[in-house]
Amino acid sequence: MTKPIFFYRGVQFPICARCTGICIGYVIGMILALFIVLPFLCSYFNNSFDHRRNGTII
């Protein structure tokens, strides 16, 4: 049984096509998660440490 070898522009990838797709999907997912979660974290920390606005001390 042969492995599903993946070639891109004539260069052979060291992992199979399925694993390549999983790795690319993971990287894209992490980048999207960063852009989605980062604004919420910035807003949270900005509001948490701004004592003048909410009047509480953490």
| H helix and E strand count, the chain | 2, 2
Q: Look at residue 10 and tell me whether its pLDDT is greater than 60.
A: yes
pLDDT digits 0-9 by tens, 35-54: 888 888 887 777 666 655 55
Domain boundaries, the chain: 21-48
* pTM given for the model: 0.55
Range in 10-14, 19-23, 31-35, 54-58 the model is least confident about: 54-58
Alpha helices in the chain (DSSP H): 17-48, 51-54
Neighbours of 42 (CB within 10 A): 10
